Structure 1
Amino acid sequence: MARREDNRRGKRDEEDNEFTDRLVHINRVAKTVKGGRNMSFAALVIVGDEKGRVGFGKGKAREVPEAIRKASEEAKKTMIRVPLREGRTFHHDVRGRHGAGKVVMRAAPPGTGVIAGGPMRAVLECLGVQDVVTKSIGTSNPYNMVRATFDALKRMESPRTIANKRGKKVAEIVNRRNDGASAPEALDATETVS
């Protein structure tokens, strides 16, 4: 019996080691009751494996560590997978919103770093993004910012999924992207001729 519990504990430790978690926000909540006030804490936690999976969760308890533990468990249950280009940035620009919170995320060249603030930075770092430029518009409420970021991440698609939907090969779609980038150069060439 003890050996079985040790095996379970070992598996839990391995699972915990593969995920990084980040505490984004902690809020002290007071409930007024007949005898006075009951204090409790609400925590917002981001959990990710830094390889394209990320999730968020909320937890509420009388003590801060218990609230964080509850939030981490919920975050692990609600993880999503996001396709990354070269494991460092997004395939395309994307927008997301939740309530009054709006976010814009743009793919960036190597060496740019994570240009994001507050809750968005925590989400992107736990996701494993290394180069991205972001902007948050509207609310600064961390809950709504995180939900808007996740809304944007759920809209992210890889060239492989797009190719499957259209019944084409990935090379055809990727070549079109490169052709689009060279279009301004073609315009410059025609202007100099005329």
Structure 2
Amino acid sequence: MAEENKQKRSVEQDDADNFVEKIVALNRVAKVIKGGRHFSFTALVVIGNGNGRVGYGYGKANEVPDAIKKASSIAKSTMFDVAINNGTLAHEMNANYKASRVILRPASEGTGLIAGGAVRAVLEAAGVVNVLSKSLGSNNPINVVTATINALKKIRDPELATKNRKEQASLQKNIEESK
């Protein structure tokens, strides 16, 4: 029963904006004060449109729903575009954040999403269907999600990269000719 509730809670469709919201981590934290412990909650949420846009947020509040709302609003404000080609990534990418390291590799059609919990949540929200991934080092969800986001931000669309490279080469050629 608890697993069923967790599954229902982790994937919610926000109909107004058509976003996929995934709760990656939900923690109860305590602050020790003179009268005892004061409990609050933190939520790590990943939001994506399932079509190349993704963002994440970390919210903290006295109640669980408030923490999730805060994290969701932060995630919506941090959304960015991911270069996806035919349901997979354009090229291989590695990224680090603190002690976490994430390796993302493009995969052929039909491979599926081979990824662990936090990495899987980010890639599903982004709309990536076929990818191979490996998470090394710290398995702290905040660090793993941030490392995955950093890797996705570094991925460039091949056509755009080629166009930029050609422009750079022509500028360099013009500079050399003017000397």
Q: Deviations over 1:137-164 (max 9, x none)?
A: 1011000000100110111001122122
Q: Could you list the runs of 4 or more consecutive aligned residues of structure 1 that deviate by over 6 angstroms after TM superposition?
A: none
TM-score normalised per structure 1 = 0.77
- 1:114 and 1:13, CA in 2 relative to 1: closer, same or farther beyond 3 A? closer
Map of 2:129 onto structure 1? 130
Measure how far apart 1:13 and its partner are.
Answer: 5.4
Q: Deviations over 1:8-42 (max 9, x none)?
A: xxxx9522xx1010000011110111221110000
Map of 1:61 onto structure 2? 61
Q: Over aligned residue pairs, what C-alpha RMSD do you find?
A: 1.2
Task: State which structure, 1 or 2, has the greater radius of gyration over its C-alpha atoms.
Answer: 1
Map of 2:100 onto structure 1? 101
Q: State how far apart, in whole Å, the 1-side matches of 2:133 and 2:105 are.
A: 6
Map of 1:120 onto structure 2? 119
More helix by share: 1
- Structure 1 gap ranges (5+): 1-11, 169-194
Map of 2:91 onto structure 1? 92
Map of 1:72 onto structure 2? 72
Map of 1:164 onto structure 2? 163
How many residues end up aligned between the 2 structures? 154
Q: Is 1:27 equivalent to 2:32 in the alignment?
A: no
SS of residue paired to 1:167:
helix
Q: Deviations over 1:82-116 (max 9, x none)?
A: 01002x00010110110110010000000000000
Map of 1:175 onto structure 2? none
TM-score normalised per structure 2 = 0.83
Q: State how far apart, in whole Å, the 2-side matches of 1:54 and 1:102 are.
A: 19
Q: Deviations over 1:36-67 (max 9, x none)?
A: 11100000000000000000000101111110
Q: State how far apart, in whole Å, the 2-side matches of 1:103 and 1:165 are.
A: 27
Q: State how far apart, in whole Å, the 1-side matches of 2:160 and 2:35 are.
A: 58
Map of 2:10 onto structure 1? none
Q: Percent identity between the aligned chains?
A: 48
- Structure 2 gap ranges (5+): 1-13, 168-179
SS of residue paired to 2:46:
strand
Map of 2:154 onto structure 1? 155
Map of 1:43 onto structure 2? 43
Map of 1:141 onto structure 2? 140
